[in-house]
A and B are shown apart, each in its own frame.
Chain A
Amino acid sequence: MDQVFEITEEPGRAGGAPIIKVKGEVDVATSPALRERLQDVHGPGIQIVNLHEVTFLDSTGLGVLVGALKRCRETGGSLRLVIGEPRILRIFEITGLTDVFSIFPSVDDAVEA
């Protein structure tokens, strides 16, 4: 089995919003917790969600991220994703969402972009 699902926060860089870090498998069982955590991710400024340690992501998790992106944009902000694993990037590529999300290979890249 892969890692246990977990959502934690890292301090924001240079006064930015806290970075939300997700670990483990994001599927129909765990995406409700992610949805709940991302409910308050909106408003002006840059929000970063670190998916570097996510080992699986399906369409339910993708839907949660799309919802968060929409809320950020509607409130004048932006959402940046950190994805290191090609197998996680795969579902974004299949659905054409690599052109919609701002995706970075590391937190440093996401902060500095």
Chain B
Amino acid sequence: MPAEESRTVSQIAGTEVVELEIPPGGDLLSLARLTAATLAARSDFSVEEGDDLRLAVDELCLPCVRASSDSRLRLRFTRDDESVAITCTLAEDDASASDTDPTGKVGGERGGVTMESAHPDDALSTYILHALVDEHGPVDENRRLAGHWLRKRRAS
């Protein structure tokens, strides 16, 4: 699989998992937004809720994009009938890491890339996320910040 993009889909007992890995720099964040919107529709989110999730996944990814200009973003979307959860972490920057972790563990056995420090603009992204989703927070690996996660539930 080329380093450009890899995506896997699995379905386990009513839960769908989509893994997406996109190149550094955020040029293809639209793929993350498209995936979020598609899964929102599959969970019967309203159009407005789907739009909110589209914006939320973008803001979720921005701290990772700002933290590293040479690491790919690894996104894991988990959807069920009532909610969509998304995790975004930095992947290793060697091409061999483009294979997604079959265990689904965040960061994988190879270990993800940690984010050394927060960018000032991350606070605005966090503020926006807070307004758009039900839950969100940091992903820690070995007590270091490796990314962020969110969960949005369907309103009714």
Contact = CB atoms under 8 A, between A and B. Distances in A.
Contacts of B33: 56
A58 B54 CA distance: 10
A87 B59 CA distance: 15
Most buried by B among A2, A29, A58, A62: A58
A42 B85 CA distance: 42
B124 A59 contact: yes
Interface string B76-110: 00000000000000000000000000000000000
B48 to A, nearest CB: 8
B40 interface: no
A91 B27 contact: no
A62 B59 CA distance: 12
B65 interface: yes
Interface residues of B, number: 24
B7 to A, nearest CB: 16
A91 B65 contact: no
Main DSSP-derived SS at the B contact region = helix
B139 interface: no
B29 A28 contact: yes
A27 B29 contact: yes
A45 B29 CA distance: 36
Interface string A72-112: 00000000000000010011001100000000000000000
A70 to B, nearest CB: 15
Interface residues of A, number: 17
B62 A29 contact: no
Contacts of B16: none
B131 A94 contact: yes
A59 B27 contact: no
20 contacts: A27-B29, A27-B58, A28-B29, A28-B65, A29-B25, A29-B29, A56-B30, A56-B33, A56-B55, A56-B58, A58-B59, A59-B62, A60-B62, A62-B124, A87-B51, A90-B52, A91-B55, A94-B128, A95-B127, A95-B128
Interface of A: 1-2, 25, 27-29, 56, 58-60, 62-63, 87, 90-91, 94-95
Give the 3 A-B residue pairs with the shortest CB-CB distance, closest first: A28-B26, A87-B51, A94-B131
